[in-house]
A = this chain, B = another copy of it.
Amino acid sequence: MAVTGTRVTRAERQAQTRERLIEVAREMFLSDGYAATSLDKVAVRAGFSKGAVYSNFAGKEQLCMAVLDSIHEEQIEGVVTAFSQDTDLDGRIEAFAAWAREGLGQPRWTALEVEFGAIARQSPYVATELVKRHREIRAAIAELVRQVTAEAGLGDAVDADQAATTLLSLGIGLGTLRSLDSTIDVGVFADTMRALLKTAKA
């Protein structure tokens, strides 16, 4: 065990390398898309060679999956904090809508998500991993819906699972359209949410 000189172990260095690669890959995947981003460029921009990528990830797909996981973490955090602000139904819907406006608008993460989803047809790995994550996300949304409707005194008039599927689909669709055409009105997100809940009330 070296007491002085080298302060970092090999495992620590590798962890740093891995994180740095994910960081750079995230920027490039988001700005240029999955197909248009080459592993060589990612590695060089991170200060390494392509060998470092393959030494830390099984391949491009696994690197992108790690990037998506890092994005999901932040995204979930954003939704949760948006929901824990107000306490009444309309306030929460508006907070959610605001998050959607920001999340679906500027950054192109839905575009990346969806481009990467196309890979799933050729790769069983990507298919199973993405399905797993989609189900987790849908379950989380359903749980939020259940919580919100319960506190708003709607009882179980709303099918939370169906609502979750609708909201996730709408988010994916709006994000996809929005990334092509910035004139798309993301406000329909909140309107649809309201419509779903008000129908249940009647």
Identify the A interface with B (CB < 8 A). 31-36, 108, 111-112, 114-115, 117-122, 127, 130-131, 134-135, 162, 165-166, 168-174, 176-177, 179-181, 184-185, 187-188, 191-192, 194-196, 198-199, 202
With A118-B114, A198-B202 given, is the CB distance from A181 to B134 under 8 Å? yes
Q: Are B180 and A117 in contact (CB under 8 A)?
A: yes
Which of A33, A112, A131, A172 has the largest count of B CB atoms less than 10 A from its CB? A172
Contacts of A181 in B (CB 8 A): 131, 134-135
Inter-chain contacts of A172 with B (CB < 8 A): 169, 172-173, 176-177
User: Interface on chain A toward B: helix, strand, loop, or mixed SS?
Assistant: helix
| Contact across chains for A188 and B162 when beta carbons are under 8 A apart | yes
7 sample A-B contacts, Cβ–Cβ < 8 Å, listed by A number: A35-B35, A111-B118, A162-B187, A165-B177, A169-B172, A169-B173, A169-B174
State whether A176 touches B117 (Cβ < 8 A).
yes
The distance from the CB of A141 to the nearest CB of chain B, in whole angstroms, is 12
Find chain B residues with CB under 8 A from A127 CB: 180
| Shortest beta-carbon distance from A140 to chain B in Å | 15
Question: Hey, which chain B residues are within 8 Å of A119, CB to CB?
Answer: 33, 35
**Residue in chain B with minimal CB distance to A169:** B173
Q: A35-B35, A114-B114, A118-B114 are in contact. Are A169 and B188 (CB under 8 A)?
A: yes
Tell me whether B162 and A168 are in contact (CB under 8 A): no
